[in-house]
Amino acid sequence: MNKIALVTGASRGLGRNTALHIAKKGGDVVITYQSREQDAQAVVDQIRAMGRQALALRLDVGDVDGFPLFVEHLRAALKQTWGRDSFDHLVNNAGHGDAALIEDTTHAQFDRLVDVHFKGVFFLTQALLPLLADGGRIVNLSSGLTRMSYPGFSAYAAVKGAVEVLSVYMAKELGGRGIAVNTVAPGAIETDFLGGAVRDTPDLHGEFRTSTALGRVGMPDDIGPMIAALLGEDHRWINAQRIEVSGGYLI
């Protein structure tokens, strides 16, 4: 039986790349998107063209009130497409970037970061636990910014830090069901994140490149295959770890 992964925020960026590499390794994938339905459908089409099953569901991870309906949609989709009432791997990836100095950060910016990156990860995982198979895996996306500080990312990095702590607690509480939980913390990667800042701002790009031991900025292909591999059987004993994937940023 093929494993089924649920990857949130996989219409583009790191989630898209992860979903494609999970499929490349023989897994089936449910992806979610927030607004870009067509992009999500294109990812589904690409996965199906590889001979794997895939489908896309809409989800705002910052809206906990929407989770019960999402779970119902997921339950129905799993039954209809796979004849199953469970899935195997959860990748909590979806999220946005927002940068402001502490003195300029508004309550609205702060609340949205907390809602999407922390409260959303906490309660989406809670809502999905009845559907997550025993022996399954969870990967939560954090950021290199929890290890090093960069002005403007205090709220963002703090909620990612919360996710890292949460991941260890998830590993402890879910271990009895054979579920391993890890955090993947990417360095700066060229995606649409933060308006494509890493990719499109020459100064920033140069700074990240020269601060990275391997001498370049990260690409989605540096992350997706790693997460897909982490979900594989060979890595079953990795649990409760924060794994930074940054090419050696600021070491």
Q: Using the rule CB under 6 A, which residue among 21, 30, 137, 143 binds ligand NDP?
A: 143
156 carries an active-site annotation:
yes
Distance CA 188, CA 166 (A): 22
Q: Using the rule CB under 6 A, which residue among 125, 154, 191, 211 binds ligand NDP?
A: 191
The H helix count followed by the E strand count for the chain is 9, 7
> Which residue's CB atom is positioned nearest to ligand NDP?
13
Report the residue number, 62 or 136, with the smaller CB distance to ligand NDP. Answer: 62
Q: Does 139 bind ligand NDP (CB under 6 A)?
A: no
Q: Does 224 bind ligand NDP (CB under 6 A)?
A: no
Q: Does 227 bind ligand NDP (CB under 6 A)?
A: no
Distance CA 205, CA 83 (A): 46
Mark residue 173 as left, alpha or beta (left: phi above 0; alpha: psi -120 to 50; beta: remaining): alpha
Q: Does 247 bind ligand NDP (CB under 6 A)?
A: no
Which member of 33, 156, 169, 249 is catalytic? 156
Q: Does 116 bind ligand NDP (CB under 6 A)?
A: yes
Q: Does 207 bind ligand NDP (CB under 6 A)?
A: no
Q: Does 34 bind ligand NDP (CB under 6 A)?
A: yes
Residues with a catalytic annotation lie at 156
Q: Which residues bind ligand NDP (CB under 6 A)?
A: 9-15, 33-36, 39, 59-62, 93-96, 116, 141, 143, 186, 188-189, 191-193, 198
